[in-house]
Structure formats: structure tokens, C-alpha cells
Amino acid sequence: MELVSQSQSFGGMQSVYRHRSEACAVEMTFGVYLPPSARARPVPLLWYLSGLTCTHENAMIKAGLQKYAAEHDLALVFPDTSPRGEGVADDQAYDLGQGAGFYLNATQKPWVRHYRMYDYIVSEMPALLQKELPLNGVFGITGHSMGGHGALTIAFRNPEKFRSLSAFAPIVNPTRSDWGRKQFSAYLGDDEAYWAKHDACLLLADLGWDGDILIDQGAADQFLEHLRPEAMARLMAERRQPGVLRMQAGYDHSYYFVASFAEDHVRWHAERLHAT
């Protein structure tokens, strides 16, 4: 992987790398933050999956996670939200194509060639990062909006890989949302049987989750009807699922919301990732 830029941040190092992705068959860019303690010993890694329209960069510069990662001895990784560039299929809408990969493997044309974000996040990137960086192999995962959907669905399907889980304003029930039905139809085809493994509520009902879950949701979020937090709230309560779902009064869907609760989420992950 090729180093694109590097800046010291809170005593650690914020880097951007580019590499040729096998899964996506295209060059991909991502950000990595290493805390100061990673110079002395390997650290756990917290994955941050971003939302619609984002690149690797938005959360890296807006969410303010580095301070807390430095304090709690965690590395951070900020993947892109889709394959990009010339020759990669796209759509004029902001919520389909580039910037809107939905963390799945597309099966339908024209998306099938490059849109393999599930394999990229679950298999290719972990192997690459574990090889190249001072990591101890312990992973947690979080994300915002579409990235919250990614964090929940990827953790539920890969509990052996992710020890801790949280989300900011996640899309929790995409098979019943305009942020989901349109995209799953395009990427996966019209047979809804194939959609279930990308819906956090359906997966939790089917597979369960042995750990606990932290979800923050702004009560003044302008996209509540797409996010459907009530579906996850009911399901967690019905299943007696350990976890915390906080409706945060006054907060909208922006990075101001994410930044306001970034410290709580990093601490949540640190307590679980450093546990022996």
C-alpha cells in the first residue's frame, strides 16, 4: 500500500493510504490513525464505516475520534464507502453507486464488477492492515448512517472477527426503507430473499449477538423515517439483547452529532477491546 499523506495528530499519526483492491478490482483509498502507544506495542483496531456520499476523508477530519483513540490506545481505520473512479459504474442519485456501496457484494449488472464492499471490509482490508500495521488482531466496529448499517450487519455476520459494536444513527431496517429497497434492488436484484443478510434487524433476529451494542440516535435527525430506530428498539427489547439505544434530544444527522458522542463510543470499544 502506498502512503498518500501523513500528519501527526494528538501525538499519534493520521495517514492516508492507496492500494489496489482485489475485491473491488480498482484502486482504493483509506485513512488510518495510530495512537502514540502503537509505537511501543500492537493495539486493537476500531473500524469506522462512513455514510452516504462520504469518502474515507469525512469522518477522518470531522468526527474528532483521534483524541479519544490516542487516550485509549486504539487504532482507527476509515475505509471508503464504495469503489470509485473512471470505469466504475455510477448513478446520478447521491444514494446509489459511487459513495453508496452499502457494504454488500453486488450480484447485478452493472455493479457486479467493482461493488464488493462486503468482501473488501470483511476479508481483504483486515488481512492487509494486520500485515502492514502494528495491530494485535482485536477488532471493534462502528459507523454512521449507511456506515452504521455496515457495522451492524458485518458484525452480526462475523462475530468471530469483531469483539465490540456500536453505531451512530444507523440504517437498521433497510429492507423496509427508501435507504435500502432501491439499492438492494439495484445491487442484489428483485428477489428479496437475498436482501435479508444485509438488514440489521433481520440478522439480529436470525443470528443474535453475544456481545452488547451501543446505538446513539439524534431525536431531531432529519432522516428518521429512513433509519427506523423504532424497529431496532423494539427488537432489542423483545430479545432482551444487552445494549443501549440512546435517543439524543436535539441532535440531527450531521457530524456535529457524531463528534458530540465520539468519546462515549471510543470508550465503549476500548473497554471491550482491551479486556483480557
Active site residues: 145, 221, 253
Is 14 a binding residue for its own copies by CB under 8 A? The answer is yes
Helices and strands: H and E segment counts in the chain: 10, 9
Q: Which of residues 37-76 bind its own copies (CB under 8 A)?
A: 61-62, 64, 66-67
Using a CB cutoff of 8 Å and minimum separation of 24, what contacts does 61-64 make?
Answer: 62/255, 62/258, 62/259, 63/144, 63/255, 63/258, 63/259, 63/262, 64/259, 64/262
Q: Which of 220, 234, 239, 271 binds its own copies (CB under 8 A)?
A: 220
- The residue whose grid cell reads 440504517 is 171
**DSSP state letter for 177:** S
Residue span binding its own copies (CB under 8 A) among the ranges 7-15, 47-55, 113-121, 132-140: 7-15
Q: List, as one string, the DSSP characters of 66-108.
A: HHHHHHHT-EEEE--SS--STTS---SSTTSBTTB-TTSB--S
Is 256 a binding residue for its own copies by CB under 8 A? The answer is yes
Is 4 a binding residue for its own copies by CB under 8 A? The answer is no
Rounded to whole angstroms, how far apart are CA atoms 94 and 100? 7
61 vs 207, which CB is nearer to its own copies?
Answer: 61
Is 276 a binding residue for its own copies by CB under 8 A? The answer is no
**DSSP state letter for 42:** -
Rounded to whole angstroms, how far apart are CA atoms 32 and 77? 5
Is 224 a binding residue for its own copies by CB under 8 A? The answer is no
Residue span binding its own copies (CB under 8 A) among the ranges 163-171, 196-204, 232-240, 250-258: 250-258
In whole angstroms, the minimum distance from the beta carbon of 14 to its own copies comes to 6
Is 252 a binding residue for its own copies by CB under 8 A? The answer is yes
Q: Which of residues 138-197 bind its own copies (CB under 8 A)?
A: none
Task: Summarize as ranges the residues that interact with its own copies (CB under 8 A).
Answer: 7-11, 14, 61-62, 64, 66-67, 218, 220, 250-252, 254-257, 259-260
